[in-house]
Amino acid sequence: MKKRVWVGLALAAVMAFSAGCSSSKVDYTISVSQYGEHPSLDATLEGFKAALKDAGLEDKKNIKIDYNSAQFEPSNSKTIAQKIANGKSDLALGIATNPALDLANTVTDRPVLFAAVTDPIEAGVVKQLQAPGGNVTGAADTNPDAIVQTMDFIAAEFPNVKTVGVIINEGEPNAVVMAKIAEEQLAKHGIKMTKKAIAKSAEVKQAADALVGKVDAIYITLDNEVVSGVSSIIEVANKNKIPFFSADRDSVEAGAFAAVGFKYYDHGYEVGQMAVEILKNGKKPGEMDVTVPQKLDFIINLKAAEAQGIEVTDKMKQYVKDQNNILQ
């Protein structure tokens, strides 16, 4: 009798174990190459995961996300791309320009998506935005109108600004493209741009200090190395009462004064929806248009304004469509 009980218990345990294994079966593996960790890129990945989860694909349950960080080192990005190419994931995601380009050049046997890439055509990630062909598509993280609107805002509301300083890593194609757009738009208003180049985030503070006394405002693009050191720019801007403008919402939330931007979480979510279409519905990346942000809005930080000696007028506030984007 005891033997039958033990056999029954053992059988039940095996069945329970088997059921547990089947419930945690991995349907898809997604390889992610992210250029490094900072709020915008991290929010992009979180949005991507959220879209998957909303479609029933959850990490560590029925999908596996193999996350890799290049720690802002171009050589690491290339190594990661080769590792992913040698692996057997179902889809690859590159977050930021370097990982996106390296994956596009290296991974040819499966779908590749990208996010947080400013100009995917200029960078060489895709040849066109509409139905790009091949195995690569994704979402660009800038709309040139956002840069133009920011420069026009500076010209209209800050008449004393004659020179805008830009801290830039010229090794990042996205930063170069955005700075060029900003410079051209400022020139239309008779405002000059002064660039201070850096190669890594540790140099951001020194670059910001070097702009003091030479510029009337500071602007940064979607430049990964620079954004990683944004706290140093905020410190310098506050100490020296220099208006500080950025190209991303996260920097404004951290302490920059204003930006025309969007939420990177939403940006990542959009790319996650693309992944769902590919994995679950069989869509081909080459037939899916590359998207650009459409929900642009002014974001201003009143606390940052006070710290930087900016008097926020009612006219400035009228630029903001959603009052939730006037940060206290």
What is the C-alpha to C-alpha distance for residues 133 and 284, in angstroms, rounded to an integer? Answer: 9
Same fold, 22-141+264-287 and 144-262+296-327: yes
The per-residue pLDDT for 46 is: 97
Per-residue pLDDT, averaged over 66-79, amounts to 96
Indicate the DSSP class of residue 248. Answer: S
pLDDT higher than threshold 90 for residue 32: yes
pLDDT, position 190: 98
Does 13 or 304 have the greater pLDDT score?
304
Q: State how far the Cα of 126 lies from the Cα of 45, in Å rounded to an integer.
A: 21
Is residue 3 pLDDT above 50, yes or no? Answer: no
Range with the poorest average pLDDT among 52-56, 116-120, 205-209, 306-310? 116-120
DSSP labels, 175-244: HHHHHHHHHHHHHHTT-EEEEEE-SSGGGHHHHHHHHTTT-SEEEE-S-HHHHHTHHHHHHHHHHHT--E
Residue 283's region, left for phi above 0, alpha for psi from -120 to 50, else beta, is beta
Half-sphere exposure of 93 (CA within 13 A, CB side): 34
Query: C-alpha angle 193/197/201, rounded to 5°?
Result: 125
Residue 217: the pLDDT is 98
What pLDDT is attached to residue 9?
43
Q: What is the pLDDT of residue 24?
A: 58
The pLDDT value recorded for residue 1 is 42
Q: What is the pLDDT of residues 92-123, one digit of tens each?
A: 999 999 999 999 999 999 999 999 998 899 88
pLDDT digits (tens, 9 = 90+) for 11-31: 444 444 444 444 458 899 999
Query: Which has more confidence, 292 or 259?
Result: 259
β-strand 258-261 against 297-301: which pairing, if any?
antiparallel
CA 277 to chain centre: 21
pLDDT at 224: 84
Q: What is the dihedral of CA 76, 77, 80, 86, to 10 degrees?
A: -120
By the 10 Å C-beta count (0-12 exposed, 13-18 middle, 19+ buried), 36 is classed as: buried
For residue 11, the model assigns a pLDDT of: 41
Overall size of the chain counted in residues: 328
Model confidence at 237: pLDDT above 70: yes
Q: pLDDT at position 23, please? A: 46
Evaluate if residue 219 carries a pLDDT over 90: yes
Confidence category of residue 141, pLDDT binned at 50, 70, 90? confident
pLDDT of residue 233 exceeding 70, the answer is: yes
Architecture of domain 144-262+296-327: 3-Layer(aba) Sandwich (3.40)
Q: Are 104 and 114 in contact (CB under 8 A)?
A: yes
Q: What is the mean pLDDT of the chain?
A: 91
**How far is the C-alpha of 150 from the C-alpha of 247, rounded, in Å?**
8
Is residue 270 over pLDDT 60?
Answer: yes
Instruction: Mention the CATH class of domain 22-141+264-287.
Output: alpha beta
What span, in angstroms and rounded, lies between the C-alpha atoms of 156 and 138? 35
Note whether 33 and 70 are within 8 A (CB): yes
pLDDT on residue 122: 87
In the chain, where are the structural domains located? 22-141+264-287, 144-262+296-327
Q: Looking at residue 161, what is its pLDDT?
A: 98
Is 259's pLDDT higher than 60?
A: yes
| Confidence check: pLDDT of 4 > 60 | no
How are beta strands 112-117 and 244-246 bridged, if at all?
Answer: unpaired
pLDDT in tens, 35-65: 999 888 999 999 999 999 999 999 999 999 9
